[in-house]
Structure 1
Amino acid sequence: MPVRICILETDILVPELAELYEGYGAMFIRLFAQVPEPVECTVFNVVEGDYPSDDMQFDAYLVTGSKADSFADDPWILRLKTYVQERYARGDKLLGICFGHQLLALALGGIAERAKTGWGLGVQRFEVAQGFSWQNPPLQEVTLIVSHQDQVTALPPTAQCLAYSRYCPNAAFVVGDQVLCFQGHPEFVADYANRLLIRRQSAFSAEQYETAVASLEQPHQGELIAQWMVNFAAEPRKH
C-alpha cells in the first residue's frame, strides 16, 4: 500500500515560475518520488477553496509553503486554520512546511510572527534533536534551503523542538506522533530558490543576497527530510 498524502497547497506561483515548476504540490510529488516507498499524493489548492471530500482517506495532510503570512486574516487562511484544527481533533496526522509549519503552530496554540532576526535565506544548517523511531536515517544536523521572514517564536504547549539554529530557534517541531513541521523547504531545488532570490532581491542587502546565492552551491538534505515525513506518516498512531 502506498503512503497517501493529502497536499494542501497554499500558494499560486507567478506565471514565469509556474511554467517551470507548476506549484508547491508538484514540487512535493517530485520530492516524494525520490524515497524508496511508494507515495501517493493528491493536491488541493486551498487558496482556490479546493479541499478533499470527507470520504477521502489519507495517512497525512501536508500544508505547503506560501508567500502569504500565516498570521494574516485572509478568509482562505482562516478557513485552513479551522480545517487543520478539525483534522487534529479527529486524530489525523499533519505535516507542515514553512507557512504550513507556522500555521500549524498557530492552530495548536503557538505564536508565529515577523522575525526580529530578519530574513532566513539560502542553505542553512540546523542541529537536530534525536529520539524518534521515524528519524531514519538518523541525523545530528541537517541542511535545508530556507526562504522566510516569519518564524514560530513560541511552540504550541504540547510540542517538542526538533531542530534549531541561532537565527531560528524553532526550526522544526513535533507534537507526539501526530504533527511534524519544518521551517525549511525540503521540496526546493537550488534553481528555484535562486529564482526566488532574484525576484525578491530588492528586499535584501547586497551582502545578504550574495551570501544566500553562494550558499545554494552547498548540498542540502531535502530528500532525507522527505524520508522522515514518509516514515512519520506511515507509522501507526499510538492511541
Structure 2
Amino acid sequence: MATKRLLYLGNGRTLQSVAKLDDRFESWGLKVDRYWAANGEFPSSLDGYDGIFLSGSPHGAYENIDWINREHTLIEEAADREIPQLGICFGSQILASALCGRDQVFRRDFCEVGYKDLDVTEAAKDDALAADWGETVNMFVWHNDEVRAGHEDMVILASSDLCPNQVWRHRTAPAWGIQGHPEVTRAQAPEWFEGARERMTLDGGDVDHFIASAHEASEAKTMITRFVEMVQKD
C-alpha cells in the first residue's frame, strides 16, 4: 500500500508548534508535506493529498488577510474533493468560517482557559473520529474566539459550560474541528504553559495550577489517531 500524504498547514507564528504534531503524523506512517500558511506558503495543488491538518494561530478566521483568504479557498476546494480535514483551535474556526460562513466565528467577551471536562453529545457515539469518547472527555482549552453552534451543517460532538461548540463535524463534508488542544502531551504541556505564561495570565489562567495538573489527555487524543487511520485507508 502506498504511503498516504497529509498536507500540514501551519497557521502559527512558527511552522511547528510545541506539540510537534507534524512529526507525530510522520511517526504514525504518513508522508507529511509542511506548509507555513501564515507565512504565505501553500501547495500549488491539492492533487495527491489524502488528508489535511490545520493548526492553531493567534489570528482570527474573520480577519481579512491574504493568507487567511487563501486558506478559506483551499478548505472549500478540499471539501469539494472530499479530502478529510481536521482543524484544532484556529484550524477549527477557519474550517467553520470556510464551510459554514464567515459569521460563524466571533470574539468572546472573555477567555475560556484550563483543563475542562467536555460534555459529549449523542452524535459522537457513531462519529468516525469521536466514537471512543465516553459521556465526557477532558482536554485543555484556551480560546478567545469561538465557533457558533447553531448552523444547520454543523453536528456538535462536545461542548463545555462556557462554549456550546467545542468539537464539531460538518454534516456532509469530511471535516472536523476541535476548539481545545488534545494534541499537547503531558511532557510538552509545562513548556507550552511556561512559554505562554504572560498571555495565559492576562486571559485569567492560573499557569502554576495548569503545570501541576497537566496530563496526557489520552482519551481526547483518540480523535487525532482516528483521523490518521481515516487518512491511511484506501
Identify the match of residue 122 of structure 1 among 114, 120, 125.
114
Partner of 2:16: 23
Equivalent pair of 2:18/2:192 in contact (CA under 8 Å): no
Paired residue type of 2:189: A
Equivalent pair of 1:31/1:223 in contact (CA under 8 Å): no
Partner of 2:5: 4
Identify the match of residue 105 of structure 2 among 109, 112, 117.
112
Q: Any stretches of 5+ residues in structure 1 without a counterpart?
A: 14-21
Partner of 1:137: 132
Partner of 2:210: 215
Partner of 1:191: 190
Question: What are the within-5 Å matches in structure 2 for residues 65-214 of structure 1?
Answer: 65-110=56-101, 111-116=104-109, 118-129=110-121, 130-135=125-130, 137-175=132-170, 176=172, 178-188=174-184, 189-201=188-200, 203-204=202-203, 208-210=204-206, 212-214=207-209
- Sort the Cα spacing of 1:73 and 1:213 in 2 relative to 1 into closer, same or farther, 3 A: farther
SS in 2 for 1:57: coil
Partner of 1:45: 36
Q: How does the TM-score come out when normalised to structure 2?
A: 0.82
Q: Distance in 2 between matches of 1:38 and 1:133?
A: 20
Equivalences, count: 221
Deviates more, 1:168-177 or 1:130-139: 130-139
For 1:28-86, what per-residue CA distance to the aligned partner results, in whole angstroms no more than 9, with x for missing partners? Answer: 1244367xx52322211112221123264122111110011111111111111122112
Equivalent pair of 1:112/1:154 in contact (CA under 8 Å): no
Equivalent pair of 1:136/1:228 in contact (CA under 8 Å): no
Paired residue type of 1:113: F
Equivalent pair of 2:72/2:98 in contact (CA under 8 Å): yes
SS in 1 for 2:62: coil
Q: How does the TM-score come out when normalised to structure 1?
A: 0.80
Q: Any stretches of 5+ residues in structure 2 without a counterpart?
A: none
Identify the match of residue 229 of structure 1 among 209, 214, 227.
227
Equivalent pair of 2:88/2:177 in contact (CA under 8 Å): yes
Equivalent pair of 2:129/2:226 in contact (CA under 8 Å): yes
For 1:94-144, what per-residue CA distance to the aligned partner results, in whole angstroms no more than 9, with x for missing partners? Answer: 11110010111011124111123x212232221223212444534332222
